[in-house]
Structure 1
Amino acid sequence: MGLEFIDHFNDWAHTYDKTVVGLDKEYKAVFQNYENILHEVAEHSEGTVLEFGPGTGNLTKQLLSKGHDVYAVEPSIKMMEKAKEKLPDQVFYKGDFLNFPDFDKPIHTIVSTYAFHHLTDAEKDQALAKYSRLLPEGGKIVFADTMFEDEVKKQEILNDAKKNQFYHLLEDLKTEYYPLKKTMAKLFSKNGFQVSFKQLNDFVWLMVAKKRHLE
């Protein structure tokens, strides 16, 4: 799972919570409506939740407040340390989208925010296939993640980042694996999910995917 970015995750752990509230102008648009984004994911979650990439624990906290049992799987030790400061009673498991422990309880919902784009398209496909086997019929995947609506919008966003001299953001847009919306639709369908999309800001889309009945 995008472990080539692990140093970036560790470095960002110290400033992540300041970034998500808009204090870093370069990433302000990426995290616009951040609290609402977390709320949307939590509202669509059901039952026992498997969370990938909890980061500093912001979504985990919301899920716990709604009474969910949460298995939180995080690849970054530094991020995990920050999350534990907020949620000392919560267990965080070392792992990633493709490599994670077996859990005692059946999983009903798989969630993630701002993380799935760190996988290549081939890895995204592998992950969704794995989740299709893990989830029961009607089980859900709820992701809020960065993606491009289409090639035209992708170029507009790249041009805007360059125009504004947001060079760290521009580097992220070019080196991380932001998918096209149509690619995500295809991957979900291929792996047995019916998915809906809702745009939450210029960068982030809510994806709610439900496992179909397989005949």
Structure 2
Amino acid sequence: MANLYDGKMAAIFDAMYQTFIDYDEEYHFYNSLIQEKNCKTILEIGSGTGNLAKRFQENNQDYIGLDYSQSMIAIAKERNKNGTFIHGDMRDFELEKPVDCILITGRSTSYLITNEDINNTFESIHKNLNKDGVLIFDFIDANRFIPFTKENEIIIHEAEYDSIKYYRNSNWKTTSSENFMLEWTAQYYTLKNDEKEIIADDFSTVRIFTLNEIQLFLYLNDFEIIRTIDRKTYAYDTFVIVARQK
């Protein structure tokens, strides 16, 4: 797995996503699913800079965040002084105690680029859930996203935070039609006095999925899907899956 969002990229990500995502709405969305299933203990995989964590903590919920980026965790800990965050890899982790619900947020499934990655992740999650535990996660829908990238060579996103305007130019190139792998290159910049100032370049290899693929991976790893939600986000058409441990 790539060395995700380390150093200054973590701070840039945090600033831009304050505009991209309404974290109050995001919390309400996930928490409503959690409460429907009467889950008391929660692990968020891909907890990032702790924006959802802040909402869980403010509502006195039993929450743990796990992320692959030490830089992200540093920001999350600063934002949530009493929060619990673990540096770890979703493909192989072990909690001190299993939990009732595990979330994978922010389309972090895109960084599971091999079938082994996906199976190892679902196996680790299964082991860290209580009996009849619930898994909730989102993924980018390949059937809609690939045509979108073919029609839009450059995708521009704009955000404003602390009176600074940020821009991100993204390019997606399909590298494998066998398992829907893409190379994502992005250039981040600000505008000062109408002049572009480049602040970072980013590159990642990512994978997107069809709904049928995800259904099969879950079945093979002893999960049953209890709800599928077609959800629009700021940039991508996604599905959110709610599954129960068998």
3-state SS of paired residue (1:162): coil
Aligned residues: 197
TM-score by length of 1: 0.79
TM-fit CA distance, 1:109: 0.6
TM-score by length of 2: 0.70
Contact 1:198–1:207 (CA under 8 A) maintained in structure 2: yes
3-state SS of paired residue (1:13): helix
Counterpart pick for 1:187 among 191, 213, 217 = 217
Identity of aligned residues (%): 20
Map 1:26-175 to 2 at 5 A.
31=20, 35-45=24-34, 46-103=39-96, 105-114=97-106, 115-120=108-113, 121-143=115-137, 145-150=138-143, 153-162=144-153, 164=155, 167-170=169-172, 171-172=183-184, 175=205
Aligned match of 1:199 = 230
What is the distance in 1 between the residues matched to 2:219 and 2:72? 32
User: Which amino acid is 1:69 matched to?
Assistant: D
What is the distance in 1 between the residues matched to 2:154 and 2:111? 25
What is the distance in 1 between the residues matched to 2:16 and 2:241? 23
* CA separation of 1:133 and 1:146: change in aligned 2, threshold 3 A: closer
Contact 1:138–1:211 (CA under 8 A) maintained in structure 2: yes
Between 1 and 2, higher relative CO (CA 8 Å, sep ≥ 6) is seen in 1
3-state SS of paired residue (1:60): helix
What is the distance in 2 between the residues matched to 1:204 and 1:35? 19
Higher strand proportion (structure 1 or 2)? 2
Contact 1:41–1:206 (CA under 8 A) maintained in structure 2: no
Deviations 1:51-109 (A, max 9, x none): 21210101112222333212221221111111112101112111120233431x33111
What is the distance in 2 between the residues matched to 1:178 and 1:9? 23
What is the distance in 2 between the residues matched to 1:84 and 1:32? 20
TM-fit CA distance, 1:177: 1.5
What is the distance in 2 between the residues matched to 1:149 and 1:17? 26
* CA separation of 1:66 and 1:9: change in aligned 2, threshold 3 A: same
Aligned match of 1:28 = none
What is the distance in 2 between the residues matched to 1:16 and 1:204? 20
Which runs of no fewer than 5 residues in structure 1 stay unpaired?
A: 23-30
User: Which amino acid is 1:102 matched to?
Assistant: L
